[in-house]
Amino acid sequence: MVDISSIRPAMPVVGSEDSEFAVVDRLIGDEMIELNRDAQGLHHYIPLNWVTVVDDKVHVDRPGRDAMREWSLTPPCGPACGHLA
């Protein structure tokens, strides 16, 4: 099991090919990572169950391009976590 307590804001997120594709903004509960806004001002969300290792980076179990294709644009909790639904 991965120790998610060591995930911090501004940590790079890297795919299985060790290429950075995002940066952590914050954790949302014990299920999701909110990523920093992109160039269009949008947050993206990935599930914590993708995380395989946390060291100085957050490593996920798929290549970055696949993660970007599969990430969510919708916050998992709407107004409850400070976002509009």
User: Domain extents for the chain?
Assistant: 4-77
Instruction: Check residue 83 and give its pLDDT.
Output: 56
pTM: 0.87
Instruction: Check residue 30 and give its pLDDT.
Output: 86
Residue 2 has pLDDT above 60, yes or no: yes
The answer to whether the CB of 68 falls within 8 A of the CB of 25 is no
Residue 85 has pLDDT above 60, yes or no: no
Residue 79 has pLDDT above 60, yes or no: no
User: What is the arithmetic mean of pLDDT over 30-45?
Assistant: 95
The domain made up of 4-77 has a fold known as SH3 type barrels. (2.30.30)
Task: Please report which helix (H) or strand (E) contains residue 45, including its range.
Answer: strand 44-47
